[in-house]
Structures are given as C-alpha cells and as structure tokens.
Amino acid sequence: MALTTAPTNLTTTTLTQTHFQLNSISSKPIFTSPEQKKTSISASNNNNASATWSVDTWKSKKALQIPSYPNKEELDSVLNELTRFPPLVFAGEARKLEERLGDAALGKAFLLQGGDCAESFKEFTANNIRDTFRVLLQMGLVLTFGAQIPIIKISLTEFYFPINNRYMELAQRVDETLGFMAAAGLTLEHPIMTTTDFWTSHECLHLPYEQALTREDSTSGLYYDCSAHMLWVGERTRQLDGAHVEFLRGISNPIGIKVSDKMDPKELVKLCEILNPHNKPGRLTIINRMGAENMRVKLPHLIRAVRQARLIVTWVSDPMHGNTIKAPSGLKTRSFDAIRSELRAFFDVHEQEGSHPGGVHLEMTGQNVTECVGGARTVTLDDLSSRYHTHCDPRLNASQSLELAFAISERLRKRRIRSGRQVAPPSETLLK
C-alpha cells in the first residue's frame, strides 16, 4: 500500500510484504508466458549485465535455500499450471513503484515496507488483511505528517494512539490538521481521501515459483516477475555468482538487497553493478540489517563505497533481523528498545554521511500479538506465550508499530526543519 500525493518535498510509500497473494490491479498490459515464448535477451535492454539472460539461466548457477521435492513430476505439473495463470501484478505498476523509489533515493520520498515474515493460509483472512492494512495506513499518516505532506488520506475516526505522553503533542497536531482540512472542504467523501495506491513485495527465494510467474511485457519487451511489484535477495542468497542474483538481474522489477554487517563494501558495489548496470534510480534498494552498534561502525563504509562508485540506491533500515534473541522460554523475540535504537543509528549515520535515509522495512501485523517485548503498552517476557502466533520471526504488534511510526515521524520532522535552516525545537522523541 502506498500513500501517494503531489508532494512539496516528500512522499510516503508503503509496501506490504506478501507471500503468494493477490494484489491490486490498476493496468492490464498483455504478457507472454516464458513457457510460450522462451527467448534469450540481451541484458543491455533489460537493466542487466551484458551477458545473455533468460528466465531459466539461473539453473546453471548454485541455488541455495531452495527446498528439495521428492516428486519432481508433481512439482513440474504445478509450475506448468502457474505459467498459465494471469499475472498477480502488472509491469506498469512495477515501473510506477520504481519511479517512487527513485524519489526515495534522492531524499524526496520515504518507504514504509511492512508485513509478515511468513504468512499462513489459515490466517490469511479478510480481517487480518484489513487490520494490517489499517495499521499501515495509520503509520503512513503519521510519517506523512512528520514529512509535512499537504494531503493526508486517512480519517482520524480509525486512528488509535499508543498510551505515551511523549507523542500526544504530535497526535494533537495531526488531529488539528485533519480538522482544518475538513473545514476547508476536504471531507472524507472527497476522492483524494478515499483512494490510495499500494504495492506488494516479498523475498525472491523459491526460484521455480518466481520463474513460473515471470512474464514478458508486450509494451516494452522487458521481463517482470509478476508475483510481486518488488522482490529482494536475502542475506543468505546474494552470492555474486549465485542463482538468485542471476535470476534477479534479468527481471525489471525494483530489487532489494538485504545487507548485514558481514557485507564487504567492494562486494556491495559489484552486486549493485550486476543488478543495475545502467545505474537507474529506483532499481535498487539496499536494506540494512545489522543491529545498532554494527550499524554505526559498518554502514558508513558501505555508504562511502556506493557514493565513490557513483551508484544511485535507496537506503532502507530493517531494524528487526539484527535484534532477534531467544527468551528464557525458548521463544524467539525482539526488543522494541533495540529496534528503536537501530533506527536511531540508521538516521544518525545518514545525517553524518550527508546521505538520505530512504525508508524502513518492518515485520509487523495489525493483530494484538505478544511477540516483541517492550513498547508503551509493555509486553514482557512472561507475556510472550499468551498471543505468540508467528509462523517464523517475531513481529511488532499494532500498538508497537504505530509507536515506532511516531518516533520515526519526529525524526523526519527534525530532519525536514534542519534542511530548511530552521532550529528544531526540543523534543522527547526516542530517535532524537
């Protein structure tokens, strides 16, 4: 989901993390299935390196983290059926997202990417989707206000504030702004208040599945993975000569790269050059997952290497994966304070380096789960087992997600004021 406006200085873009789910449709170009037309293409026409690429050249590379299936015939049957299905997303939508991410790379937009680490079909219900969607919109509203966007697309009637006095001033300013908009005639019935763009994303992991949903766009001749608008390569699968990088270099979707403190700056530059040889803005998003202290030490070197190579990327913080711990009960959890500290480090480093903090990547849900400890409505270690529903990694609940959005919004606000050569007033924000 992406909140979109005609911004004066900053927009807020929202992506949902999805796993094999249907997405919104806004345009319908005709696609050709790679099974119907297996054509090798030159990457020079497809945002790629110079080597020839096709949808299955990844099979010649070493593929990690892909499950082994005992019944290959059944697998092939399912994959063949997928190639005949219509696309879940369309090329025009992916191109539009790439444009927005290009703005984020230049400090003119901010990415809010959130959702589950792993989704269960059992919990894939209308209520769960609605609740997560609502929280993302609420977060988008708060971030948009901090960035001083003139048009806000959600009503206060669905708003819910964390019980924390440090955010009440900001919440009241949002309320006053919405009241002013209503008085000016921008009511809830206005089209701009009832429509919003959104995009979807997931990790490019199961390459047979991704190949089966890859289509050639008849309007451009480029290949798009139509399972999602944006895909990212994970920390464990981003080898320069690996199958996942080989597949991703040939598709024209926006691409994310998960990066930990183990990433060598020179390797990152090479990876960027493979995936985006034409240095197209919005094509690459670097998603940092390091932990707060490692962030302060390692991220500056990555930023400098990318800048020295004159590469255009969007820098995004994933404050979740570097802060996973095991509770005495044996359950995995994450500390809200640690997550917030990593975000603070992310903003501090970019301020120090003169670069742009382009967004956040969060594992979260709209449900009232107890998986991450801390936050204004404190979840303790003893509370974890009461509503621990995740199928993979611990997620921020609705209250924690919104509280984090308030903290980020305050930081964005201070950054905006400084860029306008104004003095930021004292603030109790936790990201100051």
User: Computed over its alpha carbons, how large is the radius of gyration of the chain?
Assistant: 21
Q: How far is residue 209's CA from residue 243's CA, in Å, rounded to a whole number?
A: 14
Q: How far is residue 407's CA from residue 429's CA, in Å, rounded to a whole number?
A: 6
CA atoms within 13 A on the CB side of 249: 32
**Among residues 357, 432, 387, 416, which one has the least CA distance to residue 145?**
416
CA distance from start to end of the chain: 28
Q: Which residues does the annotation place in the binding site for phosphoenolpyruvate?
A: 235-236, 258, 289
Q: Cα angle vertex 31, ends 28, 37, to 5°?
A: 175
Identify whether the C-beta of residue 362 lies closer than 8 Å to the C-beta of residue 113. yes
| Paired residues of 359 in beta bridges | 111, 316
**Among residues 223, 286, 210, which one has the least CA distance to residue 250?**
223
Query: Which of the 8 DSSP states describes residue 67?
Result: P
* Amino acid of residue 366: G
Q: How far is residue 277's CA from residue 248's CA, in Å, rounded to a whole number?
A: 13
Strands 332-335 and 324-326: antiparallel
**Among residues 223, 227, 222, 230, which one has the least CA distance to residue 207?**
227
Identify whether the C-beta of residue 20 lies closer than 8 Å to the C-beta of residue 121. no
What is the rounded (10 degree) CA torsion for 305, 306, 308, 311? Answer: 160
Which token pair is 32? 């050709």
Q: Which residues does the annotation place in the binding site?
A: 117, 235-236, 258, 289, 321, 363, 393
Which token pair is 172? 């009241």
Q: How far is residue 230's CA from residue 30's CA, in Å, rounded to a whole number?
A: 19
Q: Which residues does the annotation place in the binding site for Mn(2+)?
A: 117, 321, 363, 393
Query: Which of the 8 DSSP states describes residue 242?
Result: B
* Amino acid of residue 375: G
Q: CB neighbours of 44 closer than 8 A, spacing ≥ 6?
A: 50, 277
Q: How far is residue 48's CA from residue 184's CA, in Å, rounded to a whole number?
A: 49
Looking up tokens 């932990």, which residue turns up? 291
